[in-house]
Amino acid sequence: MIRCKRFHAVLIALVLMAALPAGARPAKLVKHPDTTLAATPPMGWNSWNHFAGRVTEADVKAAADELVSSGMRDAGYIYVNIDDTWEGPRNAQGEITTNSKFPDMKALADYVHARGLKLGIYSSPGPKTCAGYPGSYGHEEQDARTYASWGIDYLKYDLCSFREIMQKEAPNDPQKQFEIEKAAYQKMHKALESTGRPIVFSMCQYGWNDVWKWGASVGGNLWRTTGDIEDNYNRMTQIGFMQAGLAKFAGLGHWNDPDMLEIGNGGMTFDEYKTHMTLWSILAAPLLAGNDLTKMTPQTKELLMNREVIAVDQDKLGMEGDRVWAQGPEEIWAKPLSGGAKAVALFNRASTPRRISLKLSMVGFGPQAKLRDLWAHQSVTAIDGVYSVVVPRHGAVMLRITR
* Active-site residue list: 158, 228
* 262 is a site residue for ligand GLA (CB under 6 A): no
H or E segment and range at residue 8 = helix 2-19
**What is the rounded distance in angstroms from the CA atom of residue 251 to the CA atom of residue 266?**
32
Residue 24: alpha-carbon gap to chain centroid: 26
* 257 is a site residue for ligand GLA (CB under 6 A): no
* 230 is a site residue for ligand GLA (CB under 6 A): no
Task: Report the 3 state secondary structure along 293-354.
Answer: HHHCCHHHHHHHCCHHHHHHHCCCCCCCCEEEEEECCEEEEEEECHHHCEEEEEEECCCCCE
Task: Give residue 374's identity as a one-letter amino acid code.
Answer: L
Side-chain-side CA neighbours of residue 191 (13 Å): 23
Using CB under 6 A, pick the residue from 67, 170, 199, 204 that binds ligand GLA. Answer: 204
* 37 is a site residue for ligand GLA (CB under 6 A): no
Q: Could you give the string, one character per residue 60-99, with x where binding to ligand GLA holds by CB under 6 A and - elsewhere?
A: -----------------------xx---------------
* 261 is a site residue for ligand GLA (CB under 6 A): no
Q: Return the range that interacts with ligand GLA (CB under 6 A); candidates 33-41, 127-135, 190-198, 324-332.
A: 127-135
Q: Which residue's CB is nearer to ligand GLA, number 48 or number 185?
A: 48
CB of 84 to ligand GLA, least distance (A): 4
Q: Where are the alpha helices (DSSP H) in 132-284?
A: 140-150, 162-169, 174-194, 233-241, 270-282
* 231 is a site residue for ligand GLA (CB under 6 A): no
Dihedral sign from CA coordinates of 379, 381, 387, 389: negative
Q: Which residue's CB is nearer to ligand GLA, number 81 or number 306?
A: 81
Angle between helices 233-241 and 270-282 (to 10 degrees): 20
Q: Which residue's CB is nearer to ligand GLA, number 70 or number 136?
A: 136
Q: Return the range that interacts with ligand GLA (CB under 6 A); candidates 4-12, 58-66, 128-136, 392-400.
A: 128-136
Choose among 244, 178, 242: nearest CA to 215. Answer: 178
CB of 229 to ligand GLA, least distance (A): 8
Q: Which residue's CB is nearer to ligand GLA, number 240 or number 318?
A: 240
* 158 is a site residue for ligand GLA (CB under 6 A): yes
Q: Return the range that interacts with ligand GLA (CB under 6 A); candidates 8-16, 99-107, 125-133, 167-175.
A: 125-133
Tell me if 394 sits within 8 A of 366, measured CB to CB.
Answer: no
The phi and psi torsions of 372 (rounded to 5 degrees) equal -130, 130
Q: Which residue's CB is nearer to ligand GLA, number 126 or number 318?
A: 126
CB of 131 to ligand GLA, least distance (A): 4
* 228 is a site residue for ligand GLA (CB under 6 A): yes
3-state secondary structure of 396: strand
CB of 51 to ligand GLA, least distance (A): 11
Q: Which residue's CB is nearer to ligand GLA, number 38 or number 309?
A: 38
Per-position DSSP letters for 346-385, written without gaps between them: EEE-SSS-EEEEEEGGGGT--TT-EEEETTTTEEE--BTT
* 330 is a site residue for ligand GLA (CB under 6 A): no
Q: Residue 301: is it exposed, middle or buried by C-beta count within 10 angstroms (0-12/13-18/19+)?
A: middle
Q: Residue 100: is it exposed, middle or buried by C-beta count within 10 angstroms (0-12/13-18/19+)?
A: exposed
* 48 is a site residue for ligand GLA (CB under 6 A): yes
CB of 63 to ligand GLA, least distance (A): 16
Q: Return the range that interacts with ligand GLA (CB under 6 A); candidates 65-73, 109-117, 124-132, 144-152.
A: 124-132
Residues at the contact surface with ligand GLA, assessed by CB under 6 A? 48, 83-84, 129-131, 158, 204, 228
